[in-house]
Structure 1
Amino acid sequence: MSYNDFAKNIVDLVGGEKNISNVVHCATRLRFKLKDKGKADKPALQDLDGVLSVVESGGQFQVVVGSHVGEVFKEITKIANVGSAADSTDEPKGSIGSRIFEIISRSFSPLIGALAGAGMLKAVLTILTMTGLLSAESGTYFILSAAGNAVFYFLPVFLGITLATKLGANPYVGGTIGAALLEPNFTGLLKETGDVSNFFGIPVVLFDYSSSVFPIFIAVSIYAVLEKYLKKTIHKDLQMFLVPMLSLAIIVPLTVIAFGPFGVYVGNAIGAGIDFLSTKSGILTGAVVGAGWTFLTLFGLHWGLVPILLDQLAHGGSPIFAMLAAAPLAQAGLALGVLIRAKDKSLKTLSGSTLIPALLSGVTEPILYGLMMRYKRTILYVLISAAVGGAINGMFGTKAIVYVFPSVLSIPAFAPMGIHIIAIGIAFVGAMVLTLLFGYDDKKKKAAEENKIEASQMKKESIVSPLTGVIKPLSEVDDQVFASEAMGKGIAIEPTVGQAISPVNGIVSTIFPTGHAIGVTSDDGAEVLIHIGINTVQLEGKYYSPVVKQGERVNQGDVLVNFDIEKIKEAGYPVITPIIITNTNRYVDVIETGAETVRAKDSLLTLVI
């Protein structure tokens, strides 16, 4: 399936373009904000080829598609007029907690690639200097260090832009607020942390805001509120320069006087709390963090910890990062265990394809949703192994010194490196051994899995619904020819919208002059009869307006006929509509949808050849 077709299917199954408030993506997920989650067909999405899982978390409807999420996202933006996070004004509001997590997630999502890439570059430099291949005094080292350090040093600028974008404010003013904290005239006032200057006689406690997170989050959040107020009170002709000017003149001083120091104290308090827990029981803290990271990732909440991790990295290193690093390697160990133990070729291919990105880049969502959620007993293997690895790093005080995705290649980003290698090695080997010893699938599910594999090898054809309405079994149709399945198997719909569309790509093989019945033969040979109403041939075409002619080519979704439901009912005829596969004998089975209601273009029948 092409990315374009895949994207179209996803858009349709989340309720269509009009149901999407906005959509963004991270490393593996499409993160939708839907106007009505009830319109999304979650089961059909989960069964869609290429979708690893569907998660509802943090006020978002998340479709996990793996590492090619960028290509799918591009196709979605081409085929659907959907906005980014800042464009939505009518999206439903979640709880305060979910909204905070969403804001944090969407602020960091655009930066993750730059942060991870710069972190890996710093790790490579560490290896080169440790092995003597590059001098730490050389120009080459300083130039590459600049490339690796820049995104971290200027993080307040980048976060000012992305956070302001998310909050619907001017992103460049948000970036300027961050830049003001790093401007040489301001930083020149600082000789030592805690020095005091003044602003019109008001004391200003000075801090180094490079690489900081919490101060800019507070400052830009207040700026977004202020900007909305200023736009309401200042004449439109003056807003272009007056709103940014007043915003900067108000927010920057407030940031250095209040928001900045408060944000620094919050970050320091969180860091002190974690250090306290690590000191009291590094083993317990490491075990909880190592095991818990898998669940945070499953629900897409792991980005909420990024500000804490970055704040710790800016102050000498992150012990949490080292503790959680055991989880991705435990997941990779599970993938290797499944690869070794599995006999089914498709499962071997799946586990092998998920193992490589996990080991080399730290991207483990394909393992989480492709293996762990499919074989749920393996979750325990990963939790045990990650808890042990996290406990080892916690016990010995291992820290991450730069931001990376935990993987084999990012080992130099942790210190002491030897302890970290032991910790993640035990997590990796532990999960692999547990998988090999105890297996990955339940015996009760094994037969069902084999049947599923066998069924997947059969050729299938999907017939979408030509109508919107309520599903009825054929047995409820007041016509013995249809109810007895004498004309073929199928399903009936009580329509609520007076329009029928083509359920397949194909040719209009039959159309009655009265317009009440239309037959379409699909390109794959399925003969589909749509009979709108019972005995409605007696209306002699009244209230029916066919749009197509016999022999005409149609695409799935093209309108076939419009009809007036109320007029037909007033004339004394039921509008219940049988949809029949008239060449049923050609198929092994005709599988009906399990839904009670259906919309046009929803999946209706599956034909198994």
Structure 2
Amino acid sequence: MSNKQLAKDIVKNIGGKGNVVSLTHCVTRLRFVLKDESLAKKAELEKLDIIQVVQQAGQYQVVIGQNVGEVYEDVMDVLGDIKQNPTKNGQKPKVMDQVFEIISGTFAPIIPAIMGSGLLKAVIQMLTMAGWLDAKSGTYAILSATGNAVFYFLPIILGVSFGLKLKVNPYIAATIGAALLEPNFMNLVSSGKKVVDFVGIPVVLMNYSSTVFPIILAVLLLKALDVLLKRYIPKSVQSIVTPMLELILVAPITMMVFGPIGVSIGEWIAKLFAWAMVKNAIISCGLFGAVGIIIVAFGLHWAVIPVIIMNLASQGFDPLLPTVQSTGFAAAGAALGLFILRKNNSKERQNALAAFASAFFAGITEPVIYGIYFKYRKSLIYASIAGMVSGIINGIIQIKATQIAGGVFTIPTFKPAFGYAFSMLVAFGLSLALHLILGVDTKKVQPSQDDKKHIDAKVGQVEQVIAPVSGKTTALSEVKDEVFSSGKMGKGFAVYPTNNNLYAPIAGTVTTVFPTKHAIGITTESGVELLIHIGIDTVNLKGEFFNITVSEGDVVAQGDSLGTVDFTKLVENGYDPTVMVLITNDAKFSKVQEEWQSEDNDSMLSITV
């Protein structure tokens, strides 16, 4: 499947471009913010050439893999001009979600430059040690300048990235970062003076090359000042006056106040890390090796990436990265183990092999996390054990990273290289062994459709769907929401409820319970994917008035209780309580027919497989 076709299918199955509020991407994931996540067809998405679908931190994430950048561009072509506003339905994101989203959005774009530069520095070091490169040659100087540039000029690069994220002029932000490294200022720093004055105000001189926090604080000030100035300065002169005032105010204030504060914050964090990695290295590395997978899965690794980058830039090494890589090699072992175990499931073997290659050769673990760990809890436990053991070894040997990239080809860049290689072999081997010896199944895994199409379905089998609530049954076309009434979400029917009890309209497995409780998905053994959508725009209630008693993975019989909904409260709060029943994959069945049996609650669909 081409990326362009994949992009079209993704947009179609997330509810169409009209359901997209914003889209960004990281190293492996498309990160959508959707107006209504219940309109997305998760099951259909996961049948595409993707790794996994994840819903977290207010985002609907489609895990693509290493070619996510190319797919992102094609998806953006399909979406057209959408407003990149990471909110939905007027809801304000949680503060911590916003913080991590800003951090990831700031550092993710510069990671490739840091990885490339770090690997280049490692290559230069190895060539010099081997005697193939003269440290006094012009070649050495040029290559070193190339490898060092991203670290030395980090305040400028971060200024651009953080400025873009905060929607403030990135070039003004970069200029402020450049002012901290400008030769005249650097001459003052190297002159031996500790303090100079600026219009009579003392300025403590510091070297801001390779720093992170001073420019972060400076751009935050720039954003606040930019909003203030644009409120009071006439638009006719804003393009001239605003940039000048921002530069003349923010740069000196950064040098006088935020610069020293930022440097102090960085030094304090570095000392804390040094204490943890020297005094308690075994405990610290072992603990991180055990929980590192969870940290990455929930995006919390973006909290430590700035510190890792700061350590690499200022000290030339970082003590935590080797244990991060331990989780990567443990993930590779898990993927290879699943590949070996799944001899009768070609689809799962294919995904496992791709995940193995991503983790083993590039150190990228998201395909394993979302494609294996989230599916097999035992696999997560085995990999965590392997990561912990490897982390303890890292702590004992005091292994350090000299660059940020991972994978098998970067082993020589770690110090000591042989100790690191042994530790990664333990992570990989132990994870693989645990998978092969103990297995991963917590429930029977069905063969893929490619191996045994419709194994549970009998040709001609008829599935009956009853109403999930008592009430007046109407045609789907009568629903006061075009998305449902048009049939775009699938065939079905609607019920205006007369009591609060909610029942399973069909037997199957509960595959989806949306966090806001307003939508429930059930999949039958014959492959029918049914969606119960309770009310219109009720996603805005964030679960209030809903008491859903089933969870994802529960098996229900037709007529089993799913919980209750206070429909009276829905109406009192201005919401249409109509309950829609939809067959979201109706095109796969030879016949989906309405069979009205009464005007009460016995309406049903018949689905011929």
Change (3 A) 1:388 1:244: same
SS state at 1:594 partner: strand
**3-state SS of paired residue (1:189):** helix
1:241-281 Cα shifts (integer Å, max 9, x gaps)? 11110001000001111111111111111111121122331
Partner of 1:292: 291
Following superposition, the deviation at residue 73 of structure 1 comes to: 0.8
Query: In structure 2, do the counterparts of structure 1 residues 604 and 87 end up closer, same or farther at CA, with 3 Å as the change threshold?
Result: closer
Superposed counterparts of 1:561-600, under 5 Å: 591=528, 593-596=530-533
Q: Per-residue deviation at 1:92?
A: 3.6
Q: Which residue of 1 aligns with 2:181?
A: 182
- Structure 2: which amino acid aligns with 1:275? A
Map of 1:66 onto structure 2 = 65
5 Å matches for 1:101-120?
101-120=100-119
> Which letter does structure 2 place at the counterpart of 1:380?
I
Partner residue, 2:167: 168
Aligned to 2:14: 14
Q: Distance in 2 between matches of 1:152 and 1:318?
A: 14
Which position in structure 2 is the counterpart of 1:357?
358
Give every structure 1 segment of 4 or more consecutive aligned residues whose post-TM-superposition deviation is greater than 4 Å: 37-40, 82-91, 451-460, 471-479, 491-494, 497-504, 528-533, 597-602
The separation in 2 between residues aligned to 1:304 and 1:165, in whole angstroms, is 19
- Cα deviations across residues 292-322 of structure 1 (Å, max 9, x unaligned)? 2211211223223211111111231211112
* Contact in 1 for aligned 2:293/2:384 (Cα 8 Å): yes
Aligned-partner residue type, residue 406 of structure 2: P
The equivalences for 1:503-542 within 5 A come to none
1:449 is matched with: 446
Q: 1:17 to 1:197 in 2, by over 3 A?
A: same
* 2:98 matched residue in structure 1: 99
- How much has 1:164 moved relative to structure 2? 1.1
The alpha carbon displacement at 1:236 in A equals 0.6
Q: What is the letter of the counterpart of residue 185 of structure 1?
A: N
Equivalents in 1 of 2:491, 2:110: separation in Å? 53
Alpha-carbon distance, 1:362 to partner = 1.3
Larger radius of gyration between Structure 1 and Structure 2: 1
Would the aligned equivalents of 2:531 and 2:581 in 1 still touch at CA under 8 Å? no
Partner AA of 1:107 in structure 2: T
Q: With the length of structure 2 as denominator, give the TM-score of the two structures.
A: 0.75
**Conservation of the 8 A alpha-carbon contact between 1:52 and 1:370:** yes
Give the counterpart letter for 2:531 in structure 1: G
The letter for the 2-side match of 1:420 is: Y
Give yes or no for contact 2:491–2:583 (8 Å, CA) kept in 1. no
Task: Please give the alpha-carbon distance, in whole angstroms, between the structure 2 residues aligned to 1:154 and 1:74.
Answer: 29
* Contact kept in structure 1, 2:13 and 2:44, CA below 8 Å: yes
Q: Is 1:269 the counterpart of 2:253 in the alignment?
A: no
CA distance in 2, matches of 1:425, 1:497: 56
Instruction: Give the alignment partner of residue 495 of structure 1, picking from 479, 489, 495.
Output: 479
The equivalent of 1:311 in structure 2 is 310
Task: Establish whether residue 383 from structure 1 lines up as the match of residue 381 from structure 2.
Answer: no
Amino acid at match of 2:447: E
Summarize the alignment of residues 274-423 of structure 1 with structure 2, pairs less than 5 Å apart.
274-316=273-315, 317-344=317-344, 345-402=346-403, 404-423=404-423
Q: Residue 394 of structure 1 aligns to which amino acid in structure 2?
A: G
Q: How far is the alpha carbon of 1:32 from its aligned partner? A: 2.1
Where do 5+ consecutive residues of structure 2 fail to align? 458-464, 496-524, 535-578, 591-608
**Distance in 2 between the 1:17 and 1:281 partners?**
51
Q: Which residue of 2 aligns with 1:607?
A: 589
Q: Secondary structure at the match of 1:346?
A: helix
After TM superposition, give the deviation of residue 387 of structure 1 in Å. Answer: 1.0
Instruction: Give how far 1:478 is off.
Output: 10
- Superposed displacement of residue 117, structure 1: 1.9
- Following superposition, the deviation at residue 184 of structure 1 comes to 0.9
Residue 148 of structure 1 deviates from its aligned partner by 1.9
Distance 1:90 1:187 in 2: 49
How big is each residue's C-alpha offset from its partner over 1:388-411, in whole Å with a ceiling of 9 and x where there is no partner? 111221233222222x22211122
Residues 7-55 of structure 1: per-residue CA shift (max 9 Å, x gap): 2333344343333332111110112233x34445364366342332333
Cα deviation, residue 530, structure 1: 10
CA distance in 2, matches of 1:84, 1:194: 49
1:425 is matched with: 425
Number of residue pairs aligned between Structure 1 and Structure 2: 508
CA deviations on 1:463-508 (whole Å, 9 max, x unpaired) are xxxxxxxx965999999xx9xxxxxxxx97753347965769xxxx
- 1:137-286 pair list within 5 angstroms: 137-191=136-190, 195-286=194-285
Map of 2:26 onto structure 1: 26
Counterpart residue type for residue 479 of structure 2:
P
* CA–CA distance in structure 1, aligned partners of residues 325 and 289 of structure 2: 7
User: Would the aligned equivalents of 1:281 and 1:395 in 2 still touch at CA under 8 Å?
Assistant: no
Q: CA–CA distance in 2 between the matches of 1:239 and 1:600?
A: 54
Shift of 1:604: 4.6
Measure, in 2, the Cα distance between the counterparts of 1:132 and 1:228: 56
Tell me: CA distance 1:86–1:113, structure 2 relative to 1, closer, same or farther (3 Å).
Answer: farther
Measured against aligned partners, the alpha-carbon deviations of 1:569-603 in whole angstroms (never above 9, x if no partner) come to xxxxxxxxxxxxxxxxxxx9683523246989982
How has the CA–CA distance of structure 1 residues 265 and 337 changed in structure 2, closer, same or farther, with 3 Å as cutoff? same
Distance 1:232 1:215 in 2: 26
Rate the CA distance shift 1:298–1:202 in 2: closer, same or farther, 3 A.
same
Give secondary structure in 2 for the equivalent of 1:152.
helix
Distance in 2 (alpha carbons) for counterparts of 1:153 and 1:381: 40
Partner of 1:4: 4
CA–CA distance in structure 2, aligned partners of residues 389 and 22 of structure 1: 39
Contact 1:503 1:601 in 2 (8 A): no
Mapped to 2, the partners of 1:245 and 1:475 lie a distance apart of 65
Residues 526-576 of structure 1: CA distance to partner in whole angstroms, max 9, x if unpaired?
xx999999xxxxxxxxxxxxxxxxxxxxxxxxxxxxxxxxxxxxxxxxxxx
Residues 124 and 412, structure 1, Cα contact 8 Å, conserved in 2:
no
Distance 1:308 1:386 in 2: 21
**How far is the alpha carbon of 1:181 from its aligned partner?**
1.0
CA distance in 2, matches of 1:284, 1:413: 24
**Matched residue, 1:542:** none
Note the alpha carbon deviations across 1:174-195, whole angstroms, 9 max, x for none.
1111111111111111128982
Residues 134 and 342 (structure 1 numbering): CA distance in 2 closer, same or farther, change over 3 Å?
farther
**Which amino acid counterpart does residue 589 of structure 2 have in structure 1?**
L
Question: What is the root-mean-square deviation in Å for CA atoms of aligned residues?
Answer: 3.5
C-alpha contact (below 8 Å) 1:334/1:382 kept by paired residues: yes
SS at match of 2:22: strand
Structure 1 window deviating more from structure 2 (324-333 vs 448-457): it is: 448-457
Contact kept, 8 Å, 2:179 with 2:251, in 1: the verdict is: yes
The one-letter code matched in structure 1 to 2:329 is L
Which residue pairs with 1:543 in the alignment? none
TM-score (norm. length: structure 1): 0.75
Describe the SS at the equivalent of 1:595. Answer: strand
